[in-house]
Structure 1
């Protein structure tokens, strides 16, 4: 029992102080949209016969010239339609998946006490759409959420961005925990966090990864956070800037 208590205190110190840099999470690679080529109509020059009367030749030529203009106009319209279809294809696609389709890791940042890098991975076999903020709730040892903790959603690194995650891809967000004193009645002690992604309809029990690689998910880490307030950044397709809090 004494040995376990010593390991527990060591794990807590590693979480709150931070010493080692975590391994970087993979970033989704954006696939370039296919480009459709516009079809160009070829005009046909009107033929001339030496035995045709001049009036008849002119009328026939004018009619073919008109047909050529109509053909070019149709080709231009088709090209514009194809261009519009290409632009639409570049927009994020996918569905709002359920909680069971995601895995959430909260990575302790070694040089930023109280800051966690949230990594949201699509573990399903379908494309999932994300947009906005995740709801993050600190929980106690029984898994019950602390509902009285002030949580502020901030535009870091920017406003909401709609994007899609292919199977196996990961999105990111930053979480900042304002740590308090355990003796402060406005401070709660959290041993974990529930994360609810927008549109998923339920929480995901986040796996906390310490600076030394130990995890709550496999029982090698015991996490303890004295939480007074929290800030949550927007979900983004890349990790750049998501943990840069003011």
Structure 2
């Protein structure tokens, strides 16, 4: 089992049990400059800003995604990553989470990326399609120094340092924002369906 630990500060966490979510212009004037197709082959760095995923699909940036964090139970949530852009993109690996206090200041929370329900599966998302991951966290006493009280959860796409604010949905199905005491977080791998993603 591959496990990676990171420490991140970020996003939203909701209510009662709510978790607070991708050529050089001068060369054209020089004699003997390569044609565009030759230059692209000769310079692998001139490939654009999007990093291709498996099969040539560009990796999703955080800005390409809208994120829902749906609370399933105390300390357990289903995370849905929906492609809200106008082009296909791919997610593969693990998201990052960032947490904020009510005053929007960041809160450091230990994060562990776990292979649950298994290794991540590269998932191509057409516009409007979603991929999923499970998130578990330990509840704690807000009076303790190692307990973070968060009100906002932010989510970053794999490989992207930027994050977006997640929408948190409570157990009752209503969108709500409140305070959630969090001691540490486990983030499951990205999967193409909801099967098994919160069964660990």
Task: Kindly indicate which of the two structures has a greater share of residues assigned to helix.
Answer: 1
Structure 1 unaligned blocks of 5 or more: 1-10, 17-90, 216-220
1:138 maps to which of 99, 107, 123: 99
In structure 1, what is the equivalent of residue 179 of structure 2? 224
Tell me which stretches of 4 or more aligned residues in structure 1 moved more than 6 Å.
none
For residues 130 and 90 of structure 2, the distance between their equivalents in structure 1, rounded to whole angstroms, comes to 11
Matched, 1:192 2:155: no
| Higher Rg of the two aligned structures | 1
In structure 1, what is the equivalent of residue 59 of structure 2? 96
In structure 2, what is the equivalent of residue 234 of structure 1? 189
Q: Is the 8 A contact 1:194 1:203 kept in 2?
A: yes
In structure 2, what is the equivalent of residue 75 of structure 1? none
SS of corresponding position for 1:100 = helix
Change beyond 3 A, Cα 1:98–1:194: same
For residues 128 and 166 of structure 2, the distance between their equivalents in structure 1, rounded to whole angstroms, comes to 17
Matched, 1:118 2:79: yes
For residues 240 and 93 of structure 1, the distance between their equivalents in structure 2, rounded to whole angstroms, comes to 26
Q: CA deviation at 1:230?
A: 0.6
Q: Is the 8 A contact 1:92 1:129 kept in 2?
A: no
Structure 2 unaligned blocks of 5 or more: 1-13, 19-53
Task: Kindly indicate which of the two structures has a greater share of residues assigned to strand.
Answer: 2
Q: CA deviation at 1:173?
A: 0.3
| Equivalences for residues 1-246 of structure 1 within 5 A | 12-13=15-16, 15=17, 92-109=55-72, 112-147=73-108, 149-215=109-175, 221-245=176-200
For residues 132 and 195 of structure 2, the distance between their equivalents in structure 1, rounded to whole angstroms, comes to 9
When normalised by structure 1's length, the TM-score is: 0.58
Task: Indicate the structure whose relative CO is greater, using CA pairs within 8 Å and at least 6 residues apart.
Answer: 2
In structure 1, what is the equivalent of residue 23 of structure 2? none
For residues 203 and 173 of structure 1, the distance between their equivalents in structure 2, rounded to whole angstroms, comes to 16
Q: CA deviation at 1:98?
A: 2.2
Q: Is the 8 A contact 1:130 1:162 kept in 2?
A: yes
Change beyond 3 A, Cα 1:12–1:100: closer
Q: Is the 8 A contact 1:172 1:236 kept in 2?
A: yes
When normalised by structure 2's length, the TM-score is: 0.71
